[in-house]
DNA sequence: TTCAAAGTGTTAATAAAATAACACTGTTTA
DNA sequence: TAAACAGTGTTATTTTATTAACACTTTGAA
């Protein structure tokens, strides 16, 4: 299958999450406009996204919720699952880890890295924390492909580079420092301060 | 001034942050391509964004860093500043609060709201935590315009509605539940799980 | 059984964002 | 002083994302 637009992937993730709740509430079928309403988007967008992943409904009853959840899974999950490491298990790293742990069967946070002697070699928020020096070893051993970067900005670049050298293939960067990665590594950046400033701007402008 | 595109506002926030570092490193002038390099975008994009805010350089030395920082401030900050409340001061709320506190002179987190008796009426991560029942009162009294929503998903909607009734004009929603807000309220949503799943998808697809 | 209603998949049109192109202005240097 | 250069501001083009339009299918009521 051709690579999907990033925006579509984001929405698919949202569809699945909302569908799980919808299914749990005892509903087995859903119309495009209903799914759209759950996410506050338009029905056309839903249908277009589903078209892109080649999913078709049994007509007139809407989409089979369970089937659709599974289909989205085959598109966005990898069959064997992927392992994740949190680099920098401070306030934010800990919050994310304890929140995410167990939420997705195909995505597991299996290790944390830190350089604080107080944290190293202990289990924090349910995952073992290793010293950064062992990063290469552990990333290989545990087959970790994704890194969540939550260390102080000053160390973001060198540590990210080290993670990439160790074999990381995707980074979600929460630091305020823009990273530069080779083409074979996928980078997603989220800057919370920017989000807050953006809200402030649009509140001001009305 | 005409309202700027959201994407431009996001970049302006990024420009300013990087310029502050650049200035601190002792540089007083910067070319568009240098600023672009800091953020890993193109020089055209920088120039286009600056065009939109009507900023012009004294030619040939590049942009005056200090002046540009100030100009961006006049665009994205409100003169009198804005007050922020964190709703739900759990793991994530605490991480954000302690991180953000004092970072922006025009944006202050001045209150937290929670319903946990253990937290209420105490100072957490540097801000006073009030019971949710007092939300309307405090939001008015402290002139709070922005809410960071970090409560469990089940309560996201009713509590957001209450905040809006109390006078909140902008929400940054970190819960996994899509919100619906009136037109005069600005809503920004960030879904961390979606971000992680997106990284996983693009790692899988290469 | 036929006709209206509701919902889907897809193609076409529109809008938004990023990129390219380029004329213009100072700056350097020959 | 003139010619080459570097960098800017702006308009034009391309690309991407969203929205609209519509023909088709199923359903159910008349
Ligand atoms: N806390 C937030 O809500 C928030 C919001 C936006 C951005 N951020 C960014 O996330 C990052 C972390 O924020 P935080 O609040 O969790 O900070 P924190 O200080 O609580 O955590 C940082 C962690 O990184 C570890 N660390 C420091 N240097 C390291 C190194 N060289 N190698 C490995 N580990 C190292 C520290 O021991 C600590 O555990 C920062 O870059 C910050 O800009 C945080
Ligand atoms: N922790 C993360 O990194 C993370 C990541 C993505 C999304 N989220 C979302 O952020 C939210 C909070 O996550 P968390 O990990 O901080 O959870 P948490 O349980 O640590 O914190 C939730 C806080 O909200 C308070 N609360 C509960 N009900 C309330 C109510 N009705 N009114 C006011 N306060 C109430 C609780 O007392 C607690 O302090 C969740 O919706 C979660 O989906 C968290």
Query: Do A107 and B205 count as a contact with CB atoms less than 8 A apart?
Result: no
Average pLDDT on A97-125 reads 96
Q: What spacing in Å lies between the alpha carbon of A176 and ligand 1's midpoint?
A: 10
Is A111 domain-assigned? yes
C-alpha distance from B109 to closest chain A C-alpha (Å): 11
For residue B97, which atom of ligand 1 is closest to its CA?
3
pLDDT in tens, A134-168: 999 999 999 999 999 999 999 999 999 999 999 99
The predicted structure's pLDDT at residue B5: 95
Better-predicted residue by pLDDT, B62 or A93: A93
Model pTM score: 0.96
CATH for B59 = 1.10.10.10
Q: Name the region of B86 (left: φ>0; alpha: ψ -120 to 50; beta: rest).
A: beta
B56 and B87 inside one domain: no
For chain A, positions 58-117, list CB contacts with chain B under 8 A: 75-78, 82, 84, 91-92, 94-96, 98-100, 103-104, 106-107
Residue B136, both tokens: 């309307």
Residue B201 lies in a domain: no
Q: Is A205 on the interface with B (CB under 8 A)?
A: yes
Shortest distance, CA A57 to any CA of chain B (angstroms): 24
The verdict on residue B160 lying in a domain is yes
Task: Give the pLDDT score at A5.
Answer: 95
Say if residue A186 is in the same domain as residue A89.
yes
Determine whether B52 is exposed, middle or buried from the number of CB atoms within 10 Å of its CB (0-12, 13-18, 19+).
Answer: middle
Q: Is the pLDDT of residue A57 over 90?
A: no
Last residue of a domain, one of A75, A93, A120: A75
Contact yes or no for A17 and B176 at CB 8 A = yes
Residues B122 and B182 in one domain: yes
Q: Taking each helix axis from N to C terminus, what angle separates B6-24 and B32-39, rounded to the nearest 10 degrees?
A: 100
Residue with tokens 């509430």: A25
Rounded Cα–Cα distance for residues B112 and B147 (Å) = 9
Model confidence at A58: pLDDT above 80: no
Give the domain CATH number at B91: 3.40.50.720
For the cut 90, the answer to whether the pLDDT of residue A67 exceeds it is yes
Residues A70 and A104 in one domain: no
Distance B76 CA to C25 C1' (A): 30
A90, A188: one domain = yes
Q: Which residues of A touch B156 (CB under 8 A)?
A: none
Q: Measure A78 CA to nearest chain B CA, in Å.
A: 6
**Number of domains into which chain B is organized:** 2
- Asked if residue B198 belongs to a domain, the reply is no
Same structural domain for residues B176 and B91? yes
Say if ligand 1 is within 6 A of residue B192 CB: no
Q: Are B199 and A185 in contact (CB under 8 A)?
A: no
Which of the listed residues B75, B95, B115 is the one where a domain comes to its end? B75
Which of A9-13, A127-131, B179-183 is predicted with the least confidence, judged by mean pLDDT?
Answer: B179-183
B6 touches chain A (CB under 8 A): yes
Q: Which of A75, A90, A105 is the last residue of a domain?
A: A75
Residue A190 near chain B (CB below 8 Å): yes
A1's CB contacts (< 8 A; 6+ apart) are A53, A54, A75
pLDDT along chain B (206 residues), means of 10: 91 97 95 96 96 85 94 96 98 97 94 98 97 98 98 97 98 96 95 97 94
Query: Which residues 163-182 of chain A have a CB within 8 Å of chain B?
Result: 169-172, 176, 178-180
Q: Which of A4, A106, A202 sits opposite B170 (nearest CB)?
A: A202
B188/A contact by beta carbon, under 8 A: yes
CA of B48 to the centre of ligand 1 (A): 33
Quick one: A153 and A174 in the same domain? yes
Please check the confidence at residue A1 and state whether its pLDDT lies above 90.
no
Res A39: pLDDT: 96
Among the residues of A25-113, which ranges form H helices? Answer: 32-39, 43-52, 65-76, 91-100
Closest ligand 1 atom to residue A175 Cα is 41
Q: How far is the CA of B63 from the C1' of D18 (A)?
A: 36
Residue B123 belongs to domain spanning? 82-193
């Amino acid at each position: 299958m051709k690579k999907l637009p990033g925006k579509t992937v984001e929405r698919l993730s949202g569809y699945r999450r909302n569908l799980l709740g919808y299914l749990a509430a005892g509903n087995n079928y859903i119309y495009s406009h209903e799914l759209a309403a759950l996410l506050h988007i338009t029905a056309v967008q839903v249908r277009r996204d589903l078209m892109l992943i080649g999913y078709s409904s049994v007509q007139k009853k809407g989409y089979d919720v369970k089937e659709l959840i599974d289909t989205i899974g085959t598109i966005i999950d990898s069959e064997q699952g992927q392992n994740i490491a949190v680099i920098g298990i401070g306030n934010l790293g800990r919050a994310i880890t304890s929140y995410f742990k167990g939420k997705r069967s195909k995505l597991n946070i299996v290790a944390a890295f830190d350089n604080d002697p107080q944290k190293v070699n202990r289990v924090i928020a349910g995952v073992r924390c290793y010293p950064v020096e062992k990063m290469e070893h552990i990333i290989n051993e545990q087959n970790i492909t994704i890194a969540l970067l939550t260390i102080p900005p000053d160390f973001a670049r060198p540590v990210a580079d080290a993670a990439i050298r160790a074999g990381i293939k995707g980074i979600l960067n929460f630091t305020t420092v823009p990273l530069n990665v080779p083409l074979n590594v996928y980078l997603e950046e989220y800057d919370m301060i920017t989000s807050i400033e953006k809200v402030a701007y649009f509140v001001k402008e009305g």
